[in-house]
Amino acid sequence: MASDQKVDTSHVTVHKLPPVTRRLSEDPRWEVRAQGQVIGWVEARHLGKGHTLFYFATGIHPQTGREYRLEGSTSFDERVNTVADFYRDPMTQRQHLGGYSGTAQT
């Protein structure tokens, strides 16, 4: 779902998605929207046997419509902001776009 126009991400909305299965252990997911358009998702997960809840963001590239898994954090608000930032400017998360080695090119 590629976007021809830039969507204003200064005001995003988030709503919890219904469970995909009927499993009680299914972790919650939220859809992130800007101006009514889906720009990504946030998923909650417990890693291993830990009790700390992590949130993982998936952003949609504004030109290609391709989904990119962005890093996780224990802050839900930070992950929502990461999705909005990625949609506004994918280069804010360039390490997830592929071909990024983390070293400067000369």
Between 59 and 96, name the one with better pLDDT: 59
Band of pLDDT at residue 106, cut at 50, 70 and 90: very low
Q: How far apart are CA 46 and CA 1, in angstroms?
A: 30
Domain boundaries, the chain: 12-96
Q: Cα separation of 67 and 1, whole Å? A: 10
What is the per-residue pLDDT across 77-92, written as a single tens digit (0 to 9) for each?
Answer: 999 999 999 998 888 7
DSSP characters over the chain: ---SSPPP-SSEEEEEPPPSSS-TTPPPEEEEEETTEEEEEEEEEE-TT---EEEEEEEE-TTT--EEEEEEES-HHHHHHHHHHHHH-GGGGGGGSSS--SS---
What tokens were used for 5? 């126009």
- The confidence score (pLDDT) of residue 97 equals 59
pLDDT computed for residue 94 by the predictor: 65
